[in-house]
């Protein structure tokens, strides 16, 4: 075998090995996660208990966690975004940026594998852009799904979102062990591909990103709690 052929084989092996080494951090889907503050704050001692709109919980690649432990969060890089962050992506538990630091360290450093998200400013600004484009609050209201003492069928909520956006959301609830007759709406995920086009979310019950939440039971009425 010639030296050139051997070199080509070695290069090919290195490329394959490199691809396998990177595979745990490759992703194909982004999950824009909204949570309903009233439900979240019924489970946690919140600093902001009276937020009246769906807020961002996170912008999560479907693969990878803590992809770069040396890439520290720096709020000065998103200083122009902070007014919108405080309203649309608030830390409900504390009056600090600890929540954003966590989201960047755990998810943003993995999302940054994409050139379109390879800085803190790109990551947070893209999440905010998609959040405002979706405008989940307005869409639910458009279909007369509003926080109230009434109960909704799962199909009402899913069909409203799917009918408007054209893709299936992942709708999550808090399930009461004391009352199996209803469940409380808590979190809604809407998914995008790597080019930020909408696509169906998988109803994977093994991961919700929020303790206490799980995929809503399709057959149990849903409570959408008002303040």
Known catalytic residues? 57, 103, 107
Strands 183-193 and 222-223 come out as parallel
Reported as half-sphere exposure (CB side, CA atoms, 13 A), residue 158 has a value of: 19
Residue found under tokens 């649309």:
88
d(CA 54, CA 61) in angstroms, rounded, equals: 20
d(CA 187, CA 60) in angstroms, rounded, equals: 14
| C-alpha pair distances (Å), 11 with each of 1, 3, 4, 6, 27 | 15, 12, 11, 9, 25
Q: What are the b/e assignments for 88-105, b being 16+ CB within 10 Å?
A: bbbbbeeeebebbbebbb
């Amino acid at each position: 075998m010639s030296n050139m052929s051997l070199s080509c084989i070695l290069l090919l092996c290195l490329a394959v090995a490199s691809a396998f080494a990177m595979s745990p951090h490759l992703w194909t889907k982004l999950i824009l996660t909204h949570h309903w503050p009233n439900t979240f704050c019924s489970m946690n001692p919140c600093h902001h208990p009276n937020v009246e709109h769906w807020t961002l919980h996170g912008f999560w690649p479907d693969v990878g966690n803590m992809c770069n432990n040396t890439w520290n969060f720096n709020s000065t890089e998103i200083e122009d975004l902070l007014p919108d962050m405080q309203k649309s992506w608030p830390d409900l538990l504390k009056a600090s940026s600890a929540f954003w630091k966590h989201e960047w360290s755990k998810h943003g450093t993995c999302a940054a594998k994409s050139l379109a998200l390879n800085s803190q400013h790109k990551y947070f600004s893209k999440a905010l852009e998609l959040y405002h484009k979706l405008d989940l609050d307005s869409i639910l209201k458009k279909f007369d799904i509003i926080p109230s003492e009434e109960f909704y069928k799962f199909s009402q909520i899913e069909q409203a979102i799917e009918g408007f956006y054209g893709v299936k959301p992942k709708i999550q609830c808090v399930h009461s062990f004391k009352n199996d007759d209803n469940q409380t709406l808590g979190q809604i995920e809407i998914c995008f591909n790597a080019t930020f086009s909408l696509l169906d979310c998988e109803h994977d019950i093994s991961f919700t990103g929020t303790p206490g939440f799980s995929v809503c039971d399709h057959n149990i009425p849903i409570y959408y709690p008002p303040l």
